[in-house]
Chains A and B, each alone.
Chain A
Amino acid sequence: MAKQYSFYPGCSSQKKASSYNQLRSTQTICQELGIQLNEISDWNCCSASIGYCGGGELPRLVLSARNLALSEKEHPGQDLVATCAACWLATREAQERLEHDPQLKTEANEALKEAGLTFKGEKKVRHLVEVLIEDVGYDEIRKHVKKPLKGIKIAGYVGCQTNRPFGIVGESFENPVYLDKMIDAVGAEPITNYQKKVACCGGALMFSEPEKSQALVKDILEAAHDAGADMLVTPCPVCQMNTEVYQSFINKKYGTNFNMPSVYYSTIMSVAFGKTAKEAALDGQMIRAKQLEEVAAR
């Protein structure tokens, strides 16, 4: 029987939103690996580390507490799992802060009463990557590979929020290696000395401070290019979007020539598992991942 999880998809994963392609490829690999994601029915936005202008501490914590309360009610006994770095971080942060601070918890529950909900604090909040590593395991992932991604050189770009302050279980802040291991497990070649592995892409400030953020992305792409990478792979929707869609702006400003695909770990896994280009959501790439398309067409 498939393993059951309470799933928090988040705003950017909604149908036809910016990381809809992540959701599609995630569904593909979960089906293959026997992971069942049960969507929290009426989840709300987590405010993604940028709601703080309008939203104070307690209102922002209440956003996540509501999702946790719904999950407790609808999916008792199941871990809450998120695929988006910001969703995971905000939810786990809320869970831990409310657990450690009884007064905050009381206040959050006073507010939630208005929506007829109670946060008990009985959930473990996990990233899907942790489910893949701990509950499935690299060896099992390897067993599902039908088309190894031989000869494709991939820079594992971990970024910030999947890595700090919590990080994926068992990994270090300065040099997490889980993406390298996943890349290796699907038969591709990880760029193990990738210099910008945990560098910041500017996050949401790409919208408000585009030039400053694009300068950060330029360095991230340059380091991957210089290390011989064919593409980037990332776990984070914001990292993916920021490293992919602004390359033409960066080329124009810096006279560079970047045209580097940036994909999700779920994309490369889907292709290696022998799924179609559609199942891997390769049609969701603005910069097409031609090497992956070739493997998928084989």
Chain B
Amino acid sequence: MSNAYRNNFLREVTANVEEGEWVKMCMQCGVCSGSCPLGPHWEHPPQEIFMMIRAGKREEVLKSNSMWYCTSCYNCIARCPRGLPITHIMHGLAHYAKRLGMVPQNQQTAKFAQKFWDNLTKKGRVNELTLGLSLYFMNGFGEGVKTSLKMQGVGLGMLKTQRMDPLEILGGHGCKDVAGLQAALKKARQIEEAKAVKV
């Protein structure tokens, strides 16, 4: 494999990150950074991330918690004067960091997002009950019991209003052609990985 991108993070992002080719179009106006609902929690808001990519700060960007605070609100996309698909770039950076094993330890959204994906690809549809349970227990058994107790009111309320089904634990909803879906997803992943430029 070539080492073509070793010293050029912008080119690496352009080649390997979803909608990464847009990063170079940013004019650093800061509108996106002022639009994030969880803005105060971003160590590096989107505008800064784009600047850091151009400055070659590979580790700092990919190991950052920042893009994991994106709520997918699409405020930035609606407002960016240069038309950057910022939301997708944030998702793309998060996914790329995950693929490279660079996600910070204990990143809660990364853990949840991974569980969501695992849950949906298992049967083709999300099983809210098993997803919820695995979520409450994702930080260990002790924490899980605490969270479950805290969330008991919500659970009982959902049960009473017919918005939760305890029988889902036995498997629950799913696609009929799970095998076909899984094969298609596997193929898609192969195509994507074959295209990625190794660094």
Contacts and interface: CB of A to CB of B under 8 A. Distances in A.
B164 A59 contact: no
B187 A208 contact: no
A51 B113 CA distance: 5
B75 A59 contact: no
Instruction: Tell me if B's interface is mostly helix, strand, loop or mixed.
Output: helix
Interface in B72-125: 72-75, 77-79, 87-88, 91-92, 94-95, 98-99, 103, 108-114, 116-118, 120-121, 124-125
Interface in B120-137: 120-121, 124-126, 128, 135
A286 B156 CA distance: 10
A212 interface: yes
Contact of A16 (B78, B113, B165, B185): B165
Interface in B131-172: 135, 153-154, 157-158, 160-165, 168
A15 B189 contact: no
B24 interface: no
A55 B95 contact: yes
B38 interface: yes
A196 B114 CA distance: 31
Contacts of A209: 38, 41, 69, 108-109
A173 B80 CA distance: 13
A245 B120 contact: no
A63 interface: yes
B128 A17 contact: yes
Contacts of A49: 72, 87, 91
B175 interface: yes
A172 to B, nearest CB: 10
Contacts of B114: 53-54
A54 B117 contact: yes
Instruction: Tell me if A's interface is mostly helix, strand, loop or mixed.
Output: loop
A165 B78 contact: yes
Interface stretch (A40-48, A126-134, A184-192, A266-274): A40-48
Given A209-B38, A245-B157, A14 B116 contact: no
A44 B120 CA distance: 8
Interface in A38-87: 41-45, 47-59, 61-63, 66
Given A51-B117, A115-B181, A59 B192 contact: yes
B183 A115 contact: yes
A151 interface: no
A295 B59 CA distance: 60
A213 B71 CA distance: 9
B69 A205 contact: yes
A124 interface: no
B116 A51 contact: yes
A18 interface: yes
A230 B84 CA distance: 39
Nearest to A14: B173
Interface in A112-138: 112-117
A59 B116 contact: no
Contact of B188 (A48, A62, A204, A286): A62
A51 B72 CA distance: 12
B121 A54 contact: yes
A110 B74 CA distance: 30
A164 B180 contact: no
A47 B188 CA distance: 15
Interface string A15-26: 111111100000
A12 B163 CA distance: 9
B74 A56 contact: no
Contacts of A19: 163
A117 B117 CA distance: 22
A15 B79 CA distance: 38
A245 B177 CA distance: 34
A95 B96 CA distance: 23
Contacts of B48: none
B100 to A, nearest CB: 12
8 contacts: A11-B173, A14-B125, A50-B72, A54-B114, A107-B191, A111-B184, A115-B180, A161-B72
Closest 6 CB pairs of A and B: A54-B117, A115-B180, A53-B113, A16-B165, A164-B74, A114-B183
